[in-house]
Structure 1
Amino acid sequence: MKEWILMGVAAVGLSSSLVEAKQPNVVIILSDDQSWTDYGFMGHPEIKTPHLDQLAKESAVFSRGYVPTALCRPALTSIATGLYSHQTLITGNDPAKTAANAKHVEEAGKTAKELLISNIDRHGALPMWLADEGYLSFQSGKWWEGNFKRGGFTHGMTRGYPQKGGRHGDDGLDIGRKGMKPVFDFIDLAVKEEKPFFLWYAPFLPHTPHNPPERLFSKYRREGLPMTVARYYAMCDWFDETCGELLDGLDEKGVSKDTLVIYVTDNGWIQMPNNGSYAIRSKRSPNEGGTRTPIMFRWPGVIEPGERKELCTSLDIAPTIVAATGAKAPHDFPGLNLLPTLKGEAPLERKTIYGESFAHDIADIMKPEASLMYRWVIDDHLKLLLTYDGRQGQIKYPPTDFRPQLYDLVADPHENKNLAAERPDEVARLVKKLEAWYPVKERETVTTWSDEPVVLEPVKD
C-alpha cells in the first residue's frame, strides 16, 4: 500500500504526511443547471437545501468556484480529464453540420460524433487512472463520451453513442429522478469486494424538464412568484433531497469517514419568469450566472472544514483526486492539487483563473477557435471578458457588442457596471494574461474600448 502512495507523492509533489493515509473512496456530486446563488448555504432566501447545507458545514467550501466553460458536455469533460475545452477539443454538445466537419468525416471514415468522442481515448479520464490503482467506478447521470466503459468506468448506466438514443446520459438520467438503487447496489458491491470506489453522481437535476413532485412544488407555490420560478426552486429542493439520500447512504454503509466527497455544478441557470427557458447571462455565458459555482471538498479527519475565499476552478478537481488516491495521469494539469491547502499545510497562492465559452454546436471539431464565443480571466477581484463571433447563427442569444467587458466582482458581483472605458490600463494588462494563457490567432480580438459598439461579421464555413 505504501508503494503506490509514494509513487503518487513523487508524481504530484505531495507532502510525505499522506504516505500513511488510507486510499479514499471518491464521490463527485454534479448539479446540472443551477445558479451559484441557489442554495441555503449561499444565502438564497427561499430555496431549501438542508442536505447540501449540512455538507457545506462539513466541507472546505470555495464560494468563489468556477467552471471554465458554462455548457454541460465541455464542463463535464473538463472535470473528468482535468483539461480546458480547447485542449480536449470537446468544446460544445454536438458537432455542427458544416463543410469543415464533413471534410473531417470523409478523411477519417468515421462519423462526426465518433470523432468527437474519440478525444476521451486520447486524453484519458479519472476512472481510467483510478482503475490502475484498483478502484471500481460507477457512472450515473450525465455522461456524453459514449458508453460508460469508454470513459474507463467499471460499472455504469449509460449506453451511449452509437447505441439507439445514446446521448448525454440516456439510461443514466433516471438516477435521482427514479431513485438511487443503482448507486447503492454499486457501493454494496465495492464494499463486499473490499475495493476503493469512485462514484460519478451527475443526475439530470435540477435540469429541465422542471417537473418536481407536488409535495415539493407546493412548498414554493405562492402568490406573486411565477410558476416557472416556483418549479425551478422545487427542482433545486428535489436535487438536494437526492444528495441527502446519497450522503445518508454513505453513513449507513459505514464508508463516509474514508470517502472524499466533492461537489460542483456544470453550469449556472437563471430561470426566466415568463417561460421555461434561462436568462441570457446564465447557462452558456461567461458571466457569473453561467460560470460560478460553489465547490466543496469533504474528507473527514483530513480536510479542514470552513469557507475558503480563494479562487477555485473545477479544473482543480482532477489533480486533487489524483493526489489523494496516488493515481497517475498521462498529462500535466492546468489546475492545482488542492490537498496541501485543504489540509492546512500550505496557502493557495493563485490569484488568477481563466475560462472560455464556445457555441453549443461545434463548427470545426479540429479547430476550437471556429466556435469561440468568449475568453475570460479573473485576476483577484477583476474580471475581463473578450467576445468573438464563433458561429453566431447557432447561438440562442448571439452577442451584439464585441467591446471588452471589465467588472469589479467585489463591488459588483452581478456584473452590472462595465468598467472597460474607465480603466483601459487594466483591460490591457488582463488582455496580456489571456494571450499568454490561450492565444487566439484565427479570430478578431477587440481589446480596446470605443464609443461606438463594435459588431463583427458572423463566421462563415
Structure 2
Amino acid sequence: MKDIIKGFGFLSAGFISLLLAACTGAGKSGQQTASEKQALPNIVYIISDDQAWTDYGFTGHPYIQTPHIDRLAQEGRTYTRGYSVAPLCSPSLATLITGVYPQQHGITGNDPRFDFEGKRYSKEWMLERRQRFQPWLDRFQQHPTVPQLLADRGYLSFQSGKWWGGHWKEGGFTGGMTHGDVTRGGRHGDEGLKIGREGLRPVFDFIDDAMAQDKPFFLWYAPFLPHAPHTPPDSLLQKYIDKTPSEAVARYWAMCEWFDQTIGELLQELEDKGLSENTLVVYACDNGWIQDPEKSNAYMPGSKQDPNEIGIRTPLIFRWPNRIKPGLDTTTLVSTIDLVPTMLDAAAVPALPAMPGLSMLDAKALEARDTIFAIDFDHDMVSADDPGASLQHRMVLTHPWKLIDPEPANEPGQPELYNIFDDPFETNNLAGEYPEVVAKLKASLNGWWKP
C-alpha cells in the first residue's frame, strides 16, 4: 500500500487527507475524531510585501542575504516561475485570501477613485474613502475566505500584517490585529502593520493559544516588509551601505534581510514547539519592486503596478515535511490563484466552484495545465460593478510565451509578446514577428475574461 501511495508523488497528501475526511465523516460542526485532528495540518501563510522575484539568495541575488527563506525553499517544493494575479497590494491580497481573481472579488485597486479637494491620506480623505469603499467591500465579502472555510474543520485563525478588508473579524478570522477604524488610521492594516517590525509576540501568543486548545491553526503572516518606509535596523543598513553607491538601494536590500530574519524567528518558533512536521508553510509575494536609486521608498517603472515580470513574478514555496516532496521547479508556470485551493486541499476542505485555481497537491492537474493568467488595473478603482472600467492590461503566460494585452479604453498601446524563458526581463518584443501567436493568446485571454 505504501508503494501505491508513494506512486502518487505530490498528489498523495491531498489524496490521503480526502480519504481521512471520508472515513471520519466530520460534519460542519467542526468536531473531528482524534485521528482526524492529528491529520489536519496547521497552515502558516507567509506573504512578502513589495519584493522582486530576483531579490533572494536562492534566486541568485549577488548581495541580498535571505538564509531563512533559502532554507525554506530548499526544504519545500519551490516554484521559481510563480506569478501573482495582480501587481498591486490590495487586489493581490484579496485573491490570496479568497482564491478568486480580482475581476471576481471586485477589489481591483487599493482605493476608490473620487474627487477630493484636500490632501490625500488625510483624516478627512480616509473618512471619505471608507464610505466610498463600502460597495467594493460588500462584493468582496460575498466570497468566503480561507479562515471562514477552515472554521468548519475546527481551525483557529489569526490575521497579522497587511489587511485591506476592515476589521479582522470581517475576514472570518478568530483573532487578529487590524481594527480597520479609519479614525485611528485604518486602511490597509493599522495595528497589524507592527508585526515583524516590532516583534512577533502576537503571533507567538496565538500559536500558544491554539496549542492550549488542541486546535489546528491558520496564520496569516503578511508583514509590512520589505515595504516602504525602508527603515531597517542600522546593523543591517551598514551591512549593505558599501555594496551600492545608493543609500536608497541599500535600505531596500536591508529591508529584505530584515523580513527574512522575522521568517527565521517564526519558523524557529514552530520548530521549538514541535509543530514543524505537521505544518504546511506557504510562501508568496503580493507584487514586485524595483528600488529607485535616487529616491528612498520609491519604485521604478516595470515593477509594482506594471504587468512586467518584475511586477508579477514571485517564487511560490510549499513546505510540508513528509507530505510534499522537496524540490526546485524552474519551468512549471504556477499562480497565486492556486494557493487557496492547495491549503483547502491540505485541510480536506473542497475548493468552491468559483475558485479557478489548482491544488498543488494534484500533480496530474498541474501537469495538464499549460496556461495561467494575470491582470493589471489602475491603482484607484472606478466601479464595484464593472471591473473593466479601470482595467489596464490582461496577461497570459504559456510555454514559452507571455502576452501583455493593453485595454484600449484606459491604456493605449499595442500587445507585447515575449519569450520569457529566453528573455525574462522582457527586452525583445516579438509581437511583430509572431502575429499568429499574438492572435492565439489574445483568444485565450478573451476566453478567460473579456471586459
Superposed pair shares fold, TM > 0.5: yes
Match of 1:86 among 90, 98, 103: 103
Question: What is aligned with 1:360?
Answer: 379
Distance 1:247 1:169 in 2: 23
Distance in 2, matches of 1:34 and 1:347, equals 26
1:439 deviates by: 1.4
C-alpha displacement of 1:163: 5.3
1:383, distance to aligned residue in structure 2 (A): 0.4
Identify unmatched segments of 5+ residues in structure 2. Answer: 1-16, 27-34, 117-129
Contact preservation (8 Å) 1:6, 1:326: no
Q: Is the 1:9–1:323 contact (alpha carbons within 8 Å) kept by the matching residues of 2?
A: no
Structure 1 residue 340 displacement after superposition: 2.8
Asked whether the 8 Å contact 1:407–1:419 carries over to 2, the reply is yes
Say whether residues 1:294 and 2:315 are aligned partners: yes
Is it true that 1:236 corresponds to 2:247 in the alignment?
Answer: no
Does 2:203 align with 1:187? no
Match of 1:415 in 2: 426
User: Does the residue aligned with 1:353 lie in a helix, a strand or coil?
Assistant: strand
Residue 255 (str. 1) matches residue 241 (str. 2): no
The 5-angstrom pairing of residues 7-406 of structure 1 reads 22-97=39-114, 111-161=131-181, 164-222=184-242, 224-276=244-296, 277-308=298-329, 309-341=331-363, 348-388=367-407, 402-406=413-417
1:340-359 residue CA offsets vs partner (Å, 9 max, x unmatched): 32xxx776221110111001
- What 5-or-longer segments of structure 1 have no aligned partner? 11-17, 100-109, 392-398, 441-461
Offset of residue 223 of structure 1: 6.2
**Residue pair 1:82, 1:317 contacting (<8 A) in 2 also:** yes
SS in 2 for 1:111: helix
Q: Does the aligned pair in 2 maintain the 1:33–1:266 contact within 8 Å?
A: yes
CA shift for structure 1 position 381: 1.2
Q: Which runs of 4+ in 1 moved over 6 A?
A: 1-4, 7-10, 18-21
CA contact (8 A) 1:8 1:322 kept: no
Report the secondary structure of 2:302's partner residue: coil
**1:163/1:22 Cα in 2 relative to 1: closer, same or farther (>3 Å)?**
farther
Moved more, 299-308 or 345-354: 345-354
Q: 1:427 is aligned with what amino acid?
A: V
1:272 is displaced (CA, Å) by: 1.2
Match in the other structure for 1:451: none
Distance 1:407-1:44 versus aligned 2 partners, 3 A rule:
same
2:442 to 427, 431, 444: 431
1:450 paired residue number: none
AA partner of residue 266 (structure 1):
D
Instruction: Tell me the residue number matched to 2:6.
Output: none
1:173-224 Cα offsets, whole Å, 9 max, x none, are 0000000000000000000100000000000000000011010001101165
Residue in 2 aligned with 1:453? none
The alpha-carbon deviation at position 379 of structure 1 amounts to 1.2
Q: Provide, for residues 122-177 of structure 1, a one-character-per-residue CA deviation record: whole Å limited to 9, x for no partner.
A: 11100000111100000000000010000000000000145531110000000000
> Does the aligned pair in 1 maintain the 2:24–2:36 contact within 8 Å?
no
Change (3 A) 1:390 1:267: farther
Change (3 A) 1:224 1:294: closer
| Partners of 2:63 and 2:243 within 8 A in 1 | no
**Aligned CA-pair RMSD:** 2.3
Return the letter of the residue paired with 2:333: L
SS of the aligned residue for 2:39 comes to: coil
Q: Distance in 2 between matches of 1:120 and 1:161?
A: 18
Q: Which moved more, 1:207-216 or 1:327-336?
A: 327-336
Whole-Å separation in 1 of the counterparts to 2:115 and 2:408: 16
Deviations 1:318-356 (A, max 9, x none): 111111102245543111011132xxx776221110111
- 2:3 alignment counterpart: none
- 2: CA distance, partners of 1:116 / 1:163: 20
Which letter maps to 2:235? Answer: R
1:23, CA displacement in angstroms? Answer: 0.3
What is the alpha-carbon distance in structure 2 between the residues aligned to residue 140 and residue 285 of structure 1? 27
**Whole-Å Cα distance in 1 between the matches of residues 400 and 93 of structure 2?**
26
The 8 Å contact of residues 180 and 189 in structure 2, kept in 1 or not, is answered as: yes
C-alpha displacement of 1:421: 0.8
Matched, 1:6 2:17: no
Report if the CA contact (8 A) 1:9-1:19 is conserved. no
Deviation at 1:19, TM superposition (A): 8.6
Q: Aligned residue pairs: how many? A: 412
TM-score, normalised with respect to structure 2: 0.87
The residue that corresponds to 1:105 in the other structure is none
CA distance in 1, matches of 2:19, 2:46: 30
